Chain A
Amino acid sequence: MRLMWIAWAFFRSALQQELAYRADFFGNVLRSVIAVGTSIGGLAVVFSHTESLGDWNLAQTLTLLGVFYVIQGVVAMFMSPSLNKIVEEVRDGTFDYILVKPVPSQFIASTRRFVLWHVTDIALGAGIIAIGLGRLGSGLSAGGVLLFLGMIAAGIAIVYAIWLTLTTLVFWFVRIENVTMIFNLFYETGRYPVEIYPFWLRQALTFVFPVAFITTVPAQAITGRELTWLMWAAPIVGVIAVIAASVFWRVGIRRYSSASS
Chain B
Amino acid sequence: MLAGTVALTKAELANLFQYRIVMFLYALWEVVNPIVYLVVWSLVAGDGEVGGYRRGDFMMYYLVFMLVSHLTVAIEVYTFAPLIQQGKLSPRLLRPMHPSWSAAATNIAYKTVSLIMLVPVWIALFLILRPPFQGDLIGILLFVPAISMAVLISFLAGSAFAMLAFWTTKSFSFWEIWMSLLFLFGGQVAPVAVLPDLARALAIGMPFRYALGFPVEVVLGRLEPAELLTGFALQGAWTIVAAVVFALVWRAGIRRYSAVGA
Residues of A within 8 A of B (CB): 24, 27-28, 30-31, 34-35, 37-39, 41-42, 44-46, 48-50, 53-54, 175-179, 181-182, 184-186, 188-189, 191-192, 196-198, 201
Contacts and interface: CB of A to CB of B under 8 A. Distances in A.
B196 A45 contact: yes
A31 B26 contact: no
B40 A53 contact: yes
8 contacts: A34-B177, A44-B196, A45-B190, A48-B196, A181-B25, A181-B29, A188-B36, A196-B43
B184 A196 contact: no
Contact of B22 (A50, A178, A192, A196): A178
Given A177-B22, A178-B25, A45 B189 contact: yes
Contacts of A198: 39
Contacts of A177: 22
Given A185-B28, A188-B32, A197-B39, A38 B199 contact: no
A53 B194 CA distance: 16
Contact of A42 (B28, B32, B189): B189
Contacts of A54: 43
A70 B85 CA distance: 32
B235 to A, nearest CB: 22
B173 A50 contact: no
B194 A45 contact: yes
Nearest to A187: B32
Given A176-B21, A182-B25, A50 B44 contact: yes
A196 B40 contact: yes
Contact of B190 (A46, A176, A179, A201): A46
Given A45-B184, A46-B190, A48-B196, 13 more contacts: A30-B173, A31-B177, A34-B181, A38-B183, A45-B199, A49-B51, A53-B44, A54-B43, A181-B29, A182-B25, A188-B29, A189-B32, A192-B40
Interface in B190-229: 190, 194-196, 199
